[in-house]
Amino acid sequence: MLKSGFSENRIFTVYNSLNFHVHESFFSDIVKDDLIKIKKELFPFSFDDPVLIFIGRITKEKKVHYLVNALEILNTKGKRYNCLIIGGGVEMQKNRDLIDSLKLQNSICLFGENYDETLNARLIMMADCCISPGNVGLTAIHCLSLGTPVITHGNLENQGPEVEVIIPGKTGQFFKEDDINDLSLQIEEFVSPGKKKLIERDCIDVIKKYWTPENQRTIFDEVVKLSLDTLKPEKR
């Protein structure tokens, strides 16, 4: 907008948001044993391994198959991870066939579509990290609100504005766009037992500071007041 000639004084960032206070209550009310129970039910053969999660539409743009292939690379290196994929879409069968061909059925769970916000919150909190191989959008806000960091690609030209919530090494990590080997490397370096507990408060705090309906309302109010002030007639 600046390059197009708009005045810097007339541009305001209002961020984006979900219902942060609902997510905050989910996080504060969760019982750790409930998350352990869910993990045991989903991954009975590999309970001790970290859990990666994807939540969203299974479409070509989301590149979920990159995550599946990254897990295969990690497996060949002896690095074991579980993966939970929540959602449905036109690429579901393609991913199911890929999982079968790589014999990853025991470590990857295709959960399908789910619109129960309470259950989705528990599944996200159970995971160690969200992986969004394509554009990330509001998924980043959703996961960080619940204390779960996000890994996505770092080409900001092909990302939604919500990608700004990711602070490398603190609330998530970036990999080279369309580079599955680098995705596997970033997972290996960033996701480890106990790591999430150290950074989950950072994830929540960055959402609380900027990405809430209350913050959006404050910014809108300030802009409206500023606009009204500029319209006031000069005193004589």
pLDDT in tens, 171-226: 999 999 999 999 999 999 999 988 999 999 999 999 999 999 999 999 999 999 98
Q: Looking up tokens 């879409």, which residue turns up?
A: 89
Q: How far apart are CA 144 and CA 122, in angstroms?
A: 13
pLDDT in tens, 51-73: 999 999 999 999 999 999 999 99
Contact assessment for residue 138 and residue 104, using Cβ atoms and an 8 Å cutoff: no
The pLDDT assigned to 176 comes to 98
| pTM greater than the 0.85 cutoff | yes
Give alpha helix (H) positions in the chain. 20-29, 32-42, 64-76, 92-101, 117-126, 138-145, 180-190, 195-210, 213-231
pLDDT in tens, 143-181: 999 999 999 999 999 998 999 999 999 999 999 999 999
C-alpha count within 13 angstroms, C-beta hemisphere, residue 9: 3
Q: How far apart are CA 127 and CA 163, in angstroms?
A: 19
pLDDT in tens, 101-141: 999 999 999 999 999 999 999 999 999 999 999 999 999 99
All domains of the chain in start order, with CATH? 17-214 (3.40.50.2000)
Q: Is the pLDDT of residue 45 over 90?
A: no
Would you state the torsion angle of the CA atoms of residues 151, 117, 204, 194, taken in this order, to the nearest 10 degrees?
-60
The pLDDT assigned to 9 comes to 86
